[in-house]
Structure 1
Amino acid sequence: MTGKSAVLATDLSTASETMVESETGLNCLSRIGVERIHLVTVVPSNVHSGMPGIDFEKRRKRALRRYRSTIADAGFAVETHVVRGTPHRRINGIAGTVGADLILVGSRGKSPLENRVIGSTARNLARTTVVPLLVDRIERGVDDPNTIRRHLFERTLFATDFSENAERAFETFEYLRHATREVTLTHVRSPKDDTGDVADVESRMEPLIERLDEWGLDARIDIRRGDPAQEILAAEREHDPSTVLIGSRGRSRLRRLLLGNVSEDVVANATGNVFLVPPPRSV
């Protein structure tokens, strides 16, 4: 397993601190082969260093030094980046520049004003990322929040429609398996589904189960019928996984990069973590 690098995006909030200081979470990253972490924080374009009484860049650099020490103590090589601009664009830019294998961003859970929504940066990253994105869900509405799922990949719910996007997402088990114990393979038969009856779906699941078995992972099948996004979220509530693994549709002629409705709904409304795998940059 070759050494991987990850971009860990932080706004230096309490929620971000929780994510950075999660010993279990850092251990999970180590187990999947991450050796170098790039800590990134973005100073918004509308914040200027000359504003009276405000010096966000120095304050952020001090906080990043503290975070850097925590991550280095966990055994990672660490680089810090304090940049200015639009958060999701700068985070994506740094991920591309350093050749990151994944981006990790923390997100508060349920909002008191809206149905479970993720912050604008996490949402925009989900729509534009060209490398796998892990949305690490953090408790909301408490002064001292915890991560909602301590283990990032221990129990993974993998949603598949047997597309190339889903196959690409499944291939991440090549390294996720080192931090995974059990997998729930979920397929939703929608009214437009042409994957056949339940027996046909089970037959198509068999090669996936065999590969997971070769990797020493316990696997089970959950075949559902209905609206794909709603049923995937229902499966998450039923099986209580650490993370939902799903592939995104990729580029659209109408928008620079648009998630399929199913992926977008899952990222926005899942209770726990979501690991989103986009198409490769060249697609």
Structure 2
Amino acid sequence: MRTVRAIYATDLSAASEAAIENETCLDYLRRVGVDEIHLVTVVPSNVHSGMPGMDFEGRRRRALERYRDVMEDAGFEVEAHVVRGTPHRRINGIAESVRAELTIVGSRGQSPLENRVIGSTARNLARTTVVPLLVNRVERATDEPEVVREHLFRRVLYATDFSENAERAFEAFSYLRHATEEATLVHVESPKDPVDDPEAQLSEFAERLEDWDIDTRIELRYGDAADEILDVEESVTPTTTLLGSRGRSRLRRLLLGSVSEEIVARAAGNVYLVPPPRTA
């Protein structure tokens, strides 16, 4: 039986703890097939272990042991990693070395504390991730945050520009469907990069999801891609927004990749981001 591995990246903040200790979130990870979790925390390169009174690595290992107990009690096999370097680079490196199929990071989103490590790491991972990335949104502006939408994949908003990688993101429903009850499919039309009959293509996707007993609706929008996707998110309140990290156009301003970074930064709920294959 194939082992499905996930990276769970944490900076040991209250936001990360809320995501890791939420039983419903962990249950949804089991539903989509995850059975082995690699807990990863990164000591930034500019933090030195020799600083007076600062046993950073020891403190992180002790905190990870507590998280390990929570996840093992939930039925996962767990391995912990405390590493040093640039967070998103080390997280990607471990994901590749253990052949993970998912990276998870907790984020407060548009936190007023712009320099929070986990916030900047989520955005950097959105640009560079080598495996699908789940940004698990938690409350901001509170000392004891809770997960914003804990039923991770119950209601999915899928955004597409009909590029190859957007279709790769759609294929994630092949395993998400075990946890998905409702889906909204949205395409934002661009006069500079038109798509042939987008409504018919969305309807074709919807039929596939309906065959899996997922209640599905479609939305066709016009305007700025990120703004329109976020407007749909506000109106349908999905638990997770699903999209690819690369799009149709080579022009940066039209690249779905830039849209995905905006969604990761601004979405109210969780975001599931699917990159191109490792070989691309």
1:73-222 mapped onto 2 (5 Å cutoff): 73-112=73-112, 119-196=119-196, 200-222=197-219
1:49 is displaced (CA, Å) by: 2.0
**TM-score scaled by length of structure 2:** 0.93
Counterpart in the other structure of 1:68: 68
CA distance in 2, matches of 1:30, 1:102: 13
CA distance in 2, matches of 1:282, 1:64: 32
What are the Cα deviations for residues 187-210 of structure 1, in whole angstroms up to 9, with x where unaligned? 1112224224xxx32221232112
Q: Decide whether the 8 Å contact of 2:241 with 2:271 is kept in 1.
A: yes
CA distance in 2, matches of 1:229, 1:33: 30
Counterpart in the other structure of 2:274: 277
CA distance in 2, matches of 1:113, 1:102: 27
Kindly provide the amino acid, as one letter, of the partner of residue 64 in structure 1. Answer: L
CA 1:202 to 1:158, structure 2 compared with 1: closer, same or farther past 3 Å?
A: same
Kindly provide the amino acid, as one letter, of the partner of residue 141 in structure 1. Answer: A
1:269 is displaced (CA, Å) by: 1.1
Return 5+ residue gaps in structure 1 as ranges. Answer: none
CA distance in 1, matches of 2:104, 2:125: 10
1:149 is displaced (CA, Å) by: 0.7
CA distance in 1, matches of 2:113, 2:26: 31
What are the Cα deviations for residues 29-48 of structure 1, in whole angstroms up to 9, with x where unaligned? 00000000000001111222
**Is 1:241 aligned to residue 263 of structure 2?**
no
Counterpart in the other structure of 1:17: 17
Kindly provide the amino acid, as one letter, of the partner of residue 96 in structure 1. Answer: E
Q: Decide whether the 8 Å contact of 1:127 with 1:259 is kept in 2.
A: no
CA RMSD of aligned residues (A): 2.2
Secondary structure of the residue aligned to 1:209 is helix
1:228 is displaced (CA, Å) by: 1.1
**TM-score scaled by length of structure 1:** 0.92
What are the Cα deviations for residues 207-251 of structure 1, in whole angstroms up to 9, with x where unaligned? 21121112111100111111111100100011100011010117x
Secondary structure of the residue aligned to 2:204 is helix
**Percent pairwise identity:** 67
Counterpart in the other structure of 1:231: 228
CA 1:95 to 1:113, structure 2 compared with 1: closer, same or farther past 3 Å?
A: closer
CA 1:231 to 1:146, structure 2 compared with 1: closer, same or farther past 3 Å?
A: same
Query: Mean alpha-carbon deviation: is it higher for 226-235 or for 67-76?
Result: 226-235
Q: Decide whether the 8 Å contact of 1:126 with 1:259 is kept in 2.
A: no
CA distance in 2, matches of 1:124, 1:224: 28
What are the Cα deviations for residues 162-192 of structure 1, in whole angstroms up to 9, with x where unaligned? 1111100000001011111100010111222
Instruction: State the number of aligned residues.
Output: 275
Kindly provide the amino acid, as one letter, of the partner of residue 168 in structure 1. Answer: R
Counterpart in the other structure of 1:267: 264
Secondary structure of the residue aligned to 1:180 is coil
Kindly provide the amino acid, as one letter, of the partner of residue 237 in structure 1. Answer: E
1:260 is displaced (CA, Å) by: 2.3
What are the Cα deviations for residues 128-186 of structure 1, in whole angstroms up to 9, with x where unaligned? 11100011111111111001111111100000111111100000001011111100010
Counterpart in the other structure of 2:51: 51
Return 5+ residue gaps in structure 2 as ranges. Answer: none
Kindly provide the amino acid, as one letter, of the partner of residue 271 in structure 1. Answer: A
Counterpart in the other structure of 2:32: 32
Secondary structure of the residue aligned to 2:41 is strand
